[in-house]
Amino acid sequence: SFLIATTYIVTVMLTTSLIGGSVIFEEYLFIVIVTLLVAAAFNPLRNRIQKVVDEAIFSARVNFRDILRSLSDRLRAALSPDEVFRNLVDGLSLHTEASFITAFVNTRGTFRRTASWGDSPAKEFFLPNSLLTGLANVKALARNNAVAGRRNDESFEHEEWLGRIGADLVLPLRTEAKEVLGIVLVGGPSSGQRFDEDEFELLVEVCSIASEVLERLILQERIFLENEEKRRLEELGQLKTFFVSSVSHELRMPLTSIRMFAETLRRHQTIGKKKQREYLEIIEGESERLARLIENVLDFSKVERGVKEYNFADTKPGIVAQKAVKAMSYQFENAHAKLRVSTPRRLPRIHADADAIEEVLINLLSNALKYSTTTKDVSLKVRSNGSQVLFEVKDKGVGIPESEHGKIFEAFYRVRDGQLAQVGGAGLGLALVKHIVEAHSGTISFTSTVGKGSTFTISLPVSK
């Protein structure tokens, strides 16, 4: 109306000025306003009249449009490809006479059933290439006489294939670029009649809407996965940097001591026997610490590759505990830390790999020492409750914040606390400990309070 009114004014003005008359602007403005008002008032009336006429004369069409709208709304509301397939099959089953409707998703050439109504003919099948290309270029393929008033005489291949699979119609779900995302197989009307034109059109239209929605959802999914992959790679990169810096730190400290004391021994040959012994002990202790770190990394890689092996045998828990304590004694002395050990004389044996359990205890004792900054007081208690032997490593150190409790057993995970930045480690100790304990059918648990300390308890079943 606005366009017509504008054209009208311009034409009148031009003509008037061409023939030399004068334009009475207000007069025309009045006409235009009246025209617009009449048009505005008439429009709802026109709509209502059309609706009445439609319903009276073309009721099937109105019905068709309503169904299409409701099915389309249902499809567009889907949040995942699976939901689209389900809504598509459910919706079509309500509004057609089909004996079955089955949707298949295309997974690299194999069509897998995802949603079905009625007696579905197949669960999974492979489509010949020629048929797939054919499907990518049509809205639907039907068997002869499956749809009233339609004859298909272009291809006999699909006719034969449809007959074999027991369906009357196949509708592709394809992208704009003609990639077939899935197909819908439809069985003829149960009464043995044909599909009418409207039903066929409904099937085609609904599948075309479903294709659109599927394409959008799959694209969204791909973008999401790509972003997720990017985020994971970034995280991995960060973890790698953090791992390298933590491990270098852990390696540098003992190496510095070893070099320093070896150099002192070489330069000052007149050094007393007692001092010499002390320095050599330090070198030995620091090399052991280095070896342990390297062993942790190597062992962890064995666990990751699934090639870590255990030599199970009846083992005395007290002896394993003592060995671990001995291995850690240098480190405790060096840090002027207290290490109290209590093992009852009579303890049941465990069926275990003694070296692996020693490694577990060394890791726990090493953590207890590393994460004790002010009060360096650690205890190791071994006891039994009849069916299990419990090893308890307790410290009065910094403790672990509650928010980190779920993560400390993850490989490479380290609590990022500014105060502990100087404490080296690869974040592998507890991951390895957990793996070893579980391989022994045991459990590991801990309690910890920030500022007060932590207690790690391992329980291993006694030998039968």
Binding site for ligand ADP (CB under 6 A): 367-368, 371, 395, 397-400, 408, 413-415, 425-431, 454
- By beta carbon distance, the residue nearest ligand ADP is 425
Q: Least distance from C-beta 251 to ligand ADP, angstroms?
A: 12
Nearer CB in complex with ligand ADP: 146/430: 430
SS3 371: coil
- What is the spatial distance between Cα 216 and Cα 222, in angstroms, rounded to a whole number? 10
Residues 188 and 98 sit within 8 Å (Cβ to Cβ): yes
Nearer to ligand ADP, 162 or 432 (CB): 432
Spatial CA neighbour of 97 closest among 83, 117, 82: 117
Give the H/E segment covering residue 278. helix 273-305
Q: Which is nearer to ligand ADP, 265 or 337 (CB)?
A: 337
| Closest to ligand ADP by CB, 82 or 404 | 404
Query: At which residue do the structure tokens 């002395």 appear?
Result: 333
Q: Which residues of 282-301 are buried (b: 16+ CB within 10 A; e: fewer)?
A: bbebbebbbebbeebeebbe
Closest contact distance (angstroms) between CB of 341 and ligand ADP is: 17
**Smallest gap, in angstroms, from Cβ of residue 246 to ligand ADP?**
7
Q: Can you tell me which residue has the tokens 């995942």? A: 80
User: CB-wise, 134 or 425, nearer to ligand ADP?
Assistant: 425
Closest contact distance (angstroms) between CB of 249 and ligand ADP is 10
Which residue lies nearer to ligand ADP by CB, 218 or 290? 290
Nearer to ligand ADP, 344 or 401 (CB): 401
> What is the nearest approach in angstroms of ligand ADP to the Cβ of residue 350?
23
Q: Closest separation between CB of residue 358 and ligand ADP, Å?
A: 16
Q: Give one DSSP letter per residue of 22-67, joined into a string.
A: ---HHHHHHHHHHHHHHHHHHHHHHHHHHHHHHHHH-HHHHHHHHH
- Closest C-alpha among 146, 131, 132, 161 to residue 200: 146
461: helix, strand or coil: strand
Strands 453-461 and 443-449, how do they pair?
A: antiparallel
Nearer to ligand ADP, 225 or 294 (CB): 294
Query: Which one-letter DSSP state was computed for residue 349?
Result: -
Distant-in-sequence, close-in-space partners of 58: CB < 8 Å, separation ≥ 6: none
Query: In the bound complex, what is the minimum distance in angstroms from residue 431's beta carbon to ligand ADP?
Result: 6
Among candidate residues 91, 269, 103, the one with its CA nearest the CA of residue 180: 103
Instruction: Report the helix count and the strand count for the chain, using DSSP H and E.
Output: 11, 13
Comparing CB distances to ligand ADP, the nearer of 202 and 365 is 365
The span from the CA of 348 to the CA of 314, in Å, is: 10
We find the least distance from the C-beta atom of residue 295 to ligand ADP, in angstroms, to be 13
Quote the least distance from Cβ 356 to ligand ADP, whole Å.
16
